[in-house]
Amino acid sequence: MMVGMESQEDTAKPRRRRRILVGTLVVVVLLLAGGTFGIGWYYSGELLNPVTSAQGRFQDTVLESAGGSVTLADSASAARPGEYVLTWEGGGLAGVGPVLDRADGRVRRAVTSGAAPPAGTKVSVANWSRLSDPRSADGLEFAEVGVPTELGPAPAWYVPGSSKTWVIAVHGRGSQPGSRAEALRVLPVLHQLGLPVLDITYRNDFGAPPSPDGLYHLGDTEWRDVEAAMRYARDQGAERFVLYGWSMGGAIVAQTLARSSLAGSVTATVLDAPALDWTAAVAQGAQVRGVPGFLTPLASLFADWRADVDFDRLKVVDNPPAAKPPTLLFHGAEDSTVPVRTSRDLAAAAPRLGWPVRYEEFPLAEHTGEWNTDRPRYESTLRTFLTQ
């Protein structure tokens, strides 16, 4: 009797082990599948969700604020050369100028406008000149206008000028009240050249109509709002256009050149740290966050699934636009958002593509921060290019 019982127990043990093993494998597969879905969903949301894209990351800390200066805890962003805007929770902002001194883990900068927040405040060092409007920032008269788009009126700033060539300014990714302020840095130069400027918003921007799915399409549909702005400007007397795009705005400009019936009236483009290859941008973003490289294709797969965005179609070097006006291309060598190599690749391929591209790389600049790190060089280059 004892022998039979031992035999039954011996037989049951392998079965239990097999069941545990199979159960464990099932759980692992489900976890991997769920984790894969979660990663793909999260990173596609980082790209496509206007609210997520606009959320600020307050990573720097104010140590002291007094006497027309602000002292920050030392970091790469806190010590970056040039002119910036400090932003913090609740919509606070203050302009800061050059680094006055840097030692013992502290970076002291001049406060050029506004008032810096008290010690302990978490801030972001933003690559904009000001977060206001053309009149408050530079004394330029402007009008708030509504551009008729296929989804409804989209607000825009119109800064008048004497030329029949209008500049359409297209900001980068991030829906927030100050999105149009990205162009404030260059408005004085454009105004001095007599160029009217239409500083636009596009679908899913703060105050602009949402897209049917409420998601960004990374230029694949937003170009239609640029075309709508061009039609509006033409009705106001514009005959030619300069398209000026920052970051995702550069991708939108590229798609406008490729797909708009008005592309032939574009006489020049200016691209500042443009997103010319979304696959490369996603891979770099994942690397910065410490995400394993083999997981990065999930973002493009999920973006295609959620918003019908084909990353390959939006790669400009492989799918160049038919219209290739003279183009001024700015990019910062320290860009951690859009890989600088994508602009280098376009500049290298330009002769083969029959595209007159002038490439200007700024060694110390982060994403869209070329103006901030070397304003005289940026403005001089821009002025010369547009004059020629």
> Distance between CA 29 and CA 21 in Å, rounded?
12
Query: Hey, CA dihedral for 164, 245, 365, 176, is it positive or negative?
Result: positive
Task: Please report, as a single letter, which amino acid is at residue 185.
Answer: R
* CA atoms lying within 13 Å on the CB side of residue 128: 23
Residue 176: its pLDDT value, please? 66
Query: Hey, CA dihedral for 384, 192, 343, 131, is it positive or negative?
Result: positive
**Higher-confidence residue: 36 or 328?**
328
Residue 42: its pLDDT value, please? 60
Residue 279: its pLDDT value, please? 87
**In contact, 254 and 316? CB cutoff 8 Å:** yes
User: pLDDT, tens digit, for every residue of 240-286?
Assistant: 999 999 999 999 999 999 999 999 999 999 999 999 998 898 887 76
* Mean per-residue pLDDT of the chain: 86
* Predicted confidence (pLDDT) at residue 24 exceeds the cutoff of 80: no
* CA atoms lying within 13 Å on the CB side of residue 259: 20
Task: Please report, as a single letter, which amino acid is at residue 140.
Answer: L
* Predicted confidence (pLDDT) at residue 290 exceeds the cutoff of 70: no
User: pLDDT, tens digit, for every residue of 296-330?
Assistant: 676 667 666 676 788 889 999 999 999 999 999 99
| All structural domains of the chain | 56-126 (2.40.10), 134-277+314-387 (3.40.50.1820)
Confidence of residue 25 (pLDDT cuts 50, 70, 90): very low
Residue 282: its pLDDT value, please? 82
Nearest-5° Cα angle at 249, 247 to 251: 85
